[in-house]
Amino acid sequence: MSIETKRPDLARYAREIMEIAANAGLDFFETRFEMVDFDTMQQIAAYGGFPQRYPHWRFGMEYEKLRKQHVYGLGKIYELVINNDPCYAYLVADNELTDQKLVMAHVYAHCDFFKNNYWFSKTNRKMMDEMANHATRVRKHIDRYGHDNVESFIDLCSTLDNLIDPHSPFMRRQKQPGGGGEERMSDERHANRDTGGFQAKPYMESWINPPEVMRRQREAALKERQASRGRLPEQPLRDVLRFLLDHAPLEDWEADVLSIIREEAYYFAPQGQTKIMNEGWATFWHSRLMTTKILRDEDIITYADHHSGTVAMSPGRLNPYKIGVELFRDIEDRWNRGRFGKEYEECSTMAEMRKWNKDVGLGREKIFEVRRIHNDVTFIDEFLTPEFVDRFRMYHYRYDPATRRMVVVNRDFKKIKQQLLFMLTNHMQPYIYVVDGNYANRGELYLAHKHTGVDLDIKYAVETLRNVQRVWRRPAHLQAMINEEMVLFSFDGEQSQQQKIHEDLPKPAHSL
Amino acid sequence: MALKIEKDHQRFRQIVKGKIRKDLRKFLTRGELLGREGERTISIPVRGIEMPHFRYGDNNDAGVGVGDGESGDPVDGQDGDMGPGGTQEGQHILEVEVSLDELADILGDELKLPRIQPKGQHSITSEKDKYSGIRTTGPESLRHFKRTFRAALKRQIMAGLYDPECPIVVPIRRDQRYRSWKTVKKPQSNAVIIYMMDVSGSMGDEQKELVRLEAFWIDAWLRRNYEGIESRYIVHDVRAGEVDRQTFFRIREDGGTKISSAFHLCRQVIETNYDPNEWNIYIFHFSDGDNSSESDSRECCRLIREVLLPKSNMFGYCQVASAYGSGNFINVIHEHLDKVEGVITSRVNTKDDIYDSLKTFFGQGK
């Protein structure tokens, strides 16, 4: 129920906080608060923040988990915000007034992030309606094709929903097969475009782009293109769901269901890519706005209690709220004092570095820029400093087979940063590519895992491959490095097998 | 806001029950369920519900933490909690709360146990409201549309206002019909379960564990079938005594065995407290079958036939295997009470036999 009708008193605070947030420079979609009881809150949370989703039991499972957490006092949901225009945010009706104010300030910062962060720029801002449409479409299929059929197909597809390419919305779309659109360029023109050389003033051209080298490159590119002609896909493809949609023998309703799942996966992807930043940004602003503008005397204790709970870190665990907010504060401070750039980096003594203050006051501008262009990976890569790691006593840990426990390895900055980046890259999802859609010329699907240091979970991989096969309907294969050996997992619809990859096996169209 | 998650949730519960049913044999042997006796719900780990994804395996055992600690110190939190991939998808097994009644239903379904037909008079009656009547007044929320329409149609036809060419029917105030409720007295059938156990020296912990498991499921099933249920517990070696539930499963005595002592006490308990006309009486006796004398065994059979059986729905004898003793009592029963209706025996040598034992006991729906 809308805040205006249910809690006019809170609505007044919401308007007040909105003004304060806007004056601070936050720029958000119109934000609508809804008041719900905690049970409804859990239901919405189980639906991924939306009031409506297509029918599927896994939402019911999620709901049961949340409910149990609540019973055991393990988790309490204070707020939910939907990336949508207008932005919808849910408040739990029986929370204290101070909590509500805090949550509102937090919400406005989230909205600002949704609206302005580049990685959200391609998301559907009418997702609220779209989700409802998806629900209607799936219900229609259920009425027509039977509950069990549709459900088991959703079961299949939702185990594949991480097989997307989160960067693809930012790339120019591949030619849609048979879809006309972009005219097919000749191989020569492609080859020329791909090897256009570097930009150069005319009088430098022959040195920067030597004709002989250019010719060789063009020939190689042309050969490459001609060789890949007729290969499916033309390039290794990370958007496995797209490939299945285009080429798997799906019924219309199946294609529709799969496209729904793919679309929703793309919608949620940026939230996984910006968890630290998004929460950090919201925490940064609720803390800034609350402590400077919004808090009244009587709020202080409740606020301090709630805020410290939000940013608390238990040993061995990283709290994205805490890391995020501290990084933003650190960036603001560094750019306010001019602690960046060549001169600063080249300080000869630590004392000099510590004292450094140029009073340039660029902090505010910088953090807004950071929230606009970065995602978690680039954020950590760019702004995690040895001083920061030292200040928060971060360490790198690893499983120790001898004691069978996680043990601290060291506090080496490089190692910590590397580990963090690894954990954030592709947000802990393995990279899976389609490398051949007509493997061994038998219409079999060949997927490959790009190994980045960690093996796939074999049991899960075998299970999931079965589901890939069920969508593809022809045998499916997965190539993965397991214990430093290339292994080919296969499922032909009846039995699974795995074998070491050896010379006699047919090669897929592309190698990774 | 009309949320539809209730349906998803029900469907999820349905799937869970299906999984439990598939693994029922295993659940029947799970000793840790017993820790939860007395609670109305138990939490059961269910496998294979989580959806598989391509995901990293467990050799990804590294992370970043914060806080004190020197190189080599153990980290308390077991995993680096970064990003949604980190914590949630690691749980392969889901714990699901299931009520004992649901579990009993699954048991009944899987074992194809017929619902028990309670016998005799029903002493206690409970009251319940049932919407079975129709009135001319009531709240709008209870308006019976069809009846209202019919009344209006009837009135219009009688008054000659109904035109089949233009079949407009407009109900007026006195056409309105509403559902109304009647309070019905529902007879409630009651049952008492009398558990008797041999606690002589030859009954070890292993045997008692089997008895506890068997008793747990007997309890669950009978509770599902009767609204009001009581349990009484009798232990015996050469003498019998009544004890509470706790003691029943923990007590350990030495010495010989005289089964008839328990049967005499059982008879007393029934005669003083439970009129067979009002109560469904279930008697279960657990023993390793090693009675002190042949003559006592014969006395027992006489007691069962002449005293206990006429008063009860069922006399169940469950013999657990023991390293000591002859285990002969079950043979004596077979010999003397062959094909006597109401006497059911089963052997439980290992936990795996519980499944079939329950089927034997309740397969006839008594």
Q: Domain extents for chain B?
A: 8-50+93-110, 124-185, 189-362
Provide the edge-to-edge strand list for the sheet that holds A485-491. A431-439, A444-450, A476-482, A485-491, A496-500
Torsion from C-alpha of B259, B262, B266, B269, nearest 10 degrees: 170
Q: For the full predicted model, state whether its pTM sits above 0.90.
A: no
User: Best residue in B66, B91, B93 to probe A by mutation, most A CBs within 10 Å?
Assistant: B66
What residues have CB less than 8 Å from A495, skipping those under 6 apart?
Answer: none
Query: What is the layout of strands, in order, in the sheet containing A31-36?
Result: A31-36, A87-92, A79-82
In this prediction, residues A279-284 reach a mean pLDDT of: 96
* DSSP assignment letter at B56: B
Q: If contacts are CB pairs under 8 Å, which of residues 214-273 in chain A contact chain B?
A: 272
Residues of A in contact with B58 (CB under 8 A): 457
Count how many pairs of residues, chain A against chain B, have C-beta atoms within 8 Å. Answer: 219
Residue A443 Ramachandran class (φ > 0 left, ψ -120 to 50 alpha, else beta): left
Chain A residues closer than 8 Å to B61 by CB: 398-399, 406
Q: Does domain B189-362 have CATH number 3.40.50.410?
A: yes
CB interface of A with B, residues 356-385, below 8 Å: none
Residue A143: CB atoms within 10 Å: 10
- The Cα–Cα gap between B180 and B132 comes to 6
> Do residue B75 and residue A397 have CB atoms under 8 angstroms apart?
yes
- Cβ <8 Å between A162 and B54: yes
**Residues of chain B found within 8 Å of residue A412, distances taken between Cβ atoms:** none
Who among A159, A315, A392 is closest to B51 (CB)? Answer: A159
Residues of B in contact with A455 (CB under 8 A): 56-57, 59
Cα–Cα dist A211/A82, whole Å: 55
A316 and B80 within 8 Å at the Cβ level: the answer is yes
What is the per-residue pLDDT for A424?
A: 84
Burial of A107 (0-12, 13-18, 19+ CB in 10 A): buried
Structure tokens that stand for B234 in this block: 């009798």
Over 90: is that where the pLDDT of A81 sits?
yes
Contact check, Cβ <8 Å, B64/A420: yes
Give B-chain residues touching A61 at CB under 8 angstroms.
12, 49, 94
Q: What percent of chain A has pLDDT over 70?
A: 93
Blockwise average pLDDT, block size 10, chain B, 366 residues = 79 88 79 60 74 78 79 62 35 71 84 72 65 86 90 91 88 90 75 88 81 85 81 89 84 80 91 85 89 86 88 89 77 83 87 86 78
What is the token pair recorded at A206? 């022959």
Query: If DSSP codes are grouped into helix, strand and coil, which group holds residue A186?
Result: coil
Q: Are B95 and B44 in contact (CB under 8 A)?
A: yes
Residues B259 and B198: beta-carbon distance below 8 Å: yes
Q: Out of B55, B63, B74, whose CB is closest to A419?
A: B63
Nearest by CB to residue A455, choosing from B57, B80, B82, is B57
User: Of A310 and B58, which is predicted with more confidence?
Assistant: A310
Does residue A231 contact residue A510 with C-beta atoms inside 8 Å? yes
Strand partners, B191: B229, B280
User: Mutate which of A32, A35, A61 to disrupt the B interface (most B C-beta within 10 Å)?
Assistant: A61
Compare all CA atoms of chain B with the CA of A402 and give the residue at the minimum distance: B72
Residue B82 confidence (pLDDT): 36
- pLDDT of B59: 56
Of the candidates A61, A163, A315, which has its C-beta nearest B76's C-beta? Answer: A315
The pLDDT score that the predictor gives to residue A350 is 80
Model pLDDT, residue A114: 97
Chain B residues touching A64 at Cβ < 8 A: 9, 12, 96-97
Task: Determine which of B13, B17, B75, B88 to mutate to test the interface with A (most A C-beta atoms within 10 Å).
Answer: B75
The pLDDT value recorded for residue A193 is 60
What percentage of chain A reaches a pLDDT higher than 90?
61
Query: How far, in Å, CA of A50 to CA of A302, rounded?
Result: 29
Q: Contact, B62 vs A397, CB < 8 A?
A: yes
What token pair was written down for A384? 């995690």
Q: Give B84 to chain A, closest Cα distance, Å.
A: 7
Burial-class residue B45 by CB neighbours within 10 Å (0-12, 13-18, 19+). exposed
Where residue A483 falls (left for φ over 0; alpha for ψ -120 to 50; beta otherwise) is left
Inspect the interface and report whether the beta carbons of A40 and B1 lie closer than 8 Å. yes
**Identity of the residue in B8, B83, B97 whose CB atom sits nearest the CB atom of A272:** B83
pLDDT at B87: 34
Higher per-residue confidence, B360 vs A267 = A267
pLDDT reported for residue A36: 92
In this structure, the number of other CB atoms found within 10 A of the CB of residue A376 comes to 27
Q: Is B43 helix (H, G, I), strand (E, B) or coil?
A: strand
The angle, 0 to 180 degrees and rounded to 10, between the axes of the packed helices A363-373 and A97-116 is 70
- Whether A429 and chain B come into contact, CB under 8 Å, resolves to yes
Cβ contact, residue pair B62, A396, below 8 Å: yes
Structure tokens at B150: 């019919």
Probe site for chain B from A54, A64, A322 (most B CB atoms < 10 A): A64
Residue A55 C-alpha, separation from nearest chain B C-alpha, in angstroms: 6
First to last CA, chain B: 48
A410 neighbourhood in chain B, CB within 8 Å: 71
Average pLDDT for A290-314: 90
In this prediction, residue B83 carries a pLDDT of 33
Compute chain B's Rg from CA coordinates.
Answer: 30
Min distance A97 CA to chain B CA atoms (Å) = 23
Closest CA to B125 of B245, B278, B327, B344: B278
* CA separation for the pair A472, A149 (Å, rounded): 16
Put the strands of the sheet holding B228-236 in their side by side order.
Answer: B240-243, B228-236, B190-198, B279-287, B314-320, B343-348
Tokens of A127: 């997702």
- CB proximity A34 to B under 8 Å: yes
Burial bucket for residue A193 (CB in 10 Å: 0-12, 13-18, 19+): exposed
How near does any CA of chain A get to the CA of B88, in Å? 11
pLDDT tens profile A179-229: 444 445 566 665 566 666 777 788 888 888 888 888 888 888 777 766 666
Closest CA to B286 of B255, B338, B334, B327: B327
Question: Who contacts A235 (Cβ-Cβ below 8 Å, separation ≥6)?
Answer: A228, A510
Span A245-265, average pLDDT: 96
Across the interface, of B11, B54, B74, the residue whose CB is closest to A432 is B54
Closest in A46, A428, A464 to B52, CB measured: A464
A64 with B83: Cβ contact below 8 A: no
A122 is written with which tokens?
A: 């391609």
How many angstroms away from the CA of A67 is the closest CA of chain B?
A: 11
For A351-401, write each residue's pLDDT tens digit: 888 888 888 889 999 999 999 999 999 999 999 999 999 998 899 888 887
CA distances in angstroms from B137 to A255, B153, B155, B170, listed in the order given: 54, 19, 18, 18
For residues A306 and A299, what is the distance between their CA atoms, to the nearest angstrom?
11
Residue of higher predicted confidence among A446 and B17? A446
B196, with CB counted inside 10 A (0-12, 13-18, 19+), is buried
Is beta strand A87-92 parallel, antiparallel or unpaired with respect to A31-36? parallel
Residue B94 β-bridge partners: B46
Instruction: Classify strands B314-320 and B279-287 as parallel, antiparallel or unpaired.
Output: parallel
Identify the CA nearest to B315 among candidates B353, B266, B258, B249: B266
The arithmetic mean of pLDDT across residues A482-497, rounded, is 93
The yes-or-no verdict on residue A30 having pLDDT over 80 is yes
Residue A22: pLDDT band (50, 70, 90) is very high
A272–B66: do the CB atoms touch at under 8 Å? no
Query: What local confidence, expressed as pLDDT, does residue A123 receive?
Result: 94
Q: What are the helix (H) ranges across chain B?
A: 5-22, 24-28, 83-87, 100-110, 145-158, 205-225, 245-250, 259-273, 294-303, 309-311, 329-336, 354-362
Between strands B240-243 and B279-287, the pairing is: unpaired
Q: Please tell me which residue of chain B has the smallest CA distance to A401.
A: B61
- The answer to whether B57 and A457 are in contact (CB under 8 A) is yes
In this predicted structure, the answer to whether residue A144 has a pLDDT above a threshold of 60 is: yes
Distance CA B81, CA B64 (A): 9
- What DSSP state is assigned to residue B251? -
CA distance B93 to chain A (A): 12
So what's the pLDDT on residue A388?
Answer: 92
- Tell me the pLDDT tens digit for each residue of B8-50: 999 999 998 888 888 887 777 776 665 555 566 777 777 667 7
